[in-house]
Amino acid sequence: MARYLILLLFFFSYAFSAQLHFKLYKKEGKIKGNTLLVIGGIHGNEPGAYFAAAMLVLHYKIKKGSLWIVPNLNFDSDIRNVRGLYGDMNRKFAYISKNDPDYKIVQDIKKLILNPKVDLILNLHDGHGFYRHHWENEIFNPKAWGQACIIDQKCIKTKKFGNLYELAKKVSYVVNKKLIKNHHVFNIKNTRTKLYDPQMRKSLTYFAITQGKPALAIETSKNIRDLSQKVYYQLNAIEAFMNVMDIKYERDFDLKLPVIRKLLKDYGYAVINRNIKIDLNNIKKYISYFPLNKDSNTIKGSHPLLAFLSKGNNWNIMIGNKKITTLKPDYVKSKRCIDSIEMLIDGKLKKVKVPSIIDVKNNFLIKDKDSYRINVIGFTKKGIKNESNILITKKDIPKRFSLDKNGKQYRVEIYKKDYFCGMVVVNFK
């Protein structure tokens, strides 16, 4: 009976709470000024929104004022590429049940919106079609949402940035000077929420303005299929808002499509269970016999949209809605039982951190360590079970055992008795 109750409690805690919570990134300038809060990912099938927000995290520096970024508000939905795994989150700001899986997320983002330091909120979206003031066809019409600055009303009473229409007008003017195609023109859509739109009265931006907080939405078009183009427009609009707010910033790239396209494919690295580090760029789409825990696994890394998604017996590493690789687990008993190992790398003795990725030109050798067993995945030598104190070259390991598509990165696994302790990835240059 007790066991049944524990299982029942576990089921309800899982059923009534989202698995992944959003993360807040604060970029503060040395000179004080206004604070812009940018929110991406409220709808999981709108990648232009959350990848643009991730670009802010990864590539922008603030010199004056503050930029606060939530790139992954509805993270469970983002990694599954669905609008709302537990229903439409952007319709839960007027009322939300405590039993709703999104409850804590909505309550926490409300607190952030109401933070006295926040001066303006932008909620990023990808919307269908191309908004036009007059009907042209099924794609270009007043009911469309794409390529528009969305306001709930023309202005609100507040000390700063209360004239929402004028803000949107200035931003649209700037964006429209940088169009990729003429029909991508940005317009202003005033939903007149209080008078005409009961559904929008449940939205994040309407909640904000009813609390005296200026808020707008930026919608790029879902009909634009190229992700880099949507991110391009989002970033141009966000930068225009920062300029209006006198927020001084720097970015480490040129705001051009080929550059954005390349940066969107930079997935960085991931640290799994605190004892494995892997490079996600150019990684194979499927990796078998990967040491993982049977019950639960953790992942952290350099990309703000990085997550683990359990899929059947496998684990997918996700960056937003992009599946980077699938890991077929080799279930092991795992614990962090070693901080470093000694390796002879191209003739030089080095102390190598566990986990890490280490560059090797010609060869490597792992120094023997008492009670530890080394397994270099793909390397075999008859009669040898512990592969320490063996000089190994790239030719000694078949390419099919590499982690990457180019056959340069290989796994060195470290065990102690029955426990997997960690991994060093050897990267042949």
**12, 194, 217: which is closest to 94 by C-alpha?**
194
Q: Pairing state of beta strands 25-28 and 60-70? A: antiparallel
Q: What is the pLDDT of residue 16?
A: 60
Residue type present at position 57 = V
Query: Distance between CA atoms of 25 and 62, rounded to whole angstroms?
Result: 12
User: DSSP characters for 276-330?
Assistant: EEEE-TTB-SEEEEEEE-SS---EEES-TTEEEEEETTEEEEEETTEEEEEEEEE
> Alpha carbon of 297 to those of 167, 309, 314, 422: distances in Å?
45, 10, 12, 14
3-state secondary structure of 17: coil
Structure pTM? 0.94
Task: Measure the CA–CA gap between 14 and 163, rounded to whole angstroms.
Answer: 43
Nearest to 426 by CA among 373, 382, 367, 362: 362
Structure tokens at 270: 């991931």
The pLDDT assigned to 17 comes to 76
Mean pLDDT of successive 10-residue stretches along the chain, which has 429 residues:
37 62 98 98 98 98 98 98 98 98 98 98 98 98 98 97 98 98 98 96 98 98 98 98 98 98 98 98 98 94 97 96 98 93 98 98 95 96 94 98 98 96 97
Read out DSSP for 222-250?
Answer: TT---HHHHHHHHHHHHHHHHHHTT-EEE
Q: How far is CA 114 from the centre of its chain?
A: 24
Task: Please tell me the predicted confidence (pLDDT) of residue 298.
Answer: 96
CA-nearest of 103, 102, 107 to 75 is 102
Q: Which residues pair with 286 in a beta bridge?
A: 326
| pLDDT, position 370 | 85
Which pLDDT belongs to residue 98? 97
SS3 399: helix
Buried b / exposed e over 108-119, threshold 16 CB at 10 Å, is ebeebbeeeebb
| Number of other CB atoms surrounding residue 151 within 10 Å | 26
Q: Is 75 exposed, middle or buried (0-12, 13-18, 19+ CB in 10 A)?
A: buried
Cα separation values, 300 from 57, 58, 276, 303, Å: 15, 15, 10, 8
What integer pLDDT is reported at residue 397 of this predicted model?
98
* Position 240, amino acid: A
Both tokens of residue 241?
Answer: 């808002």
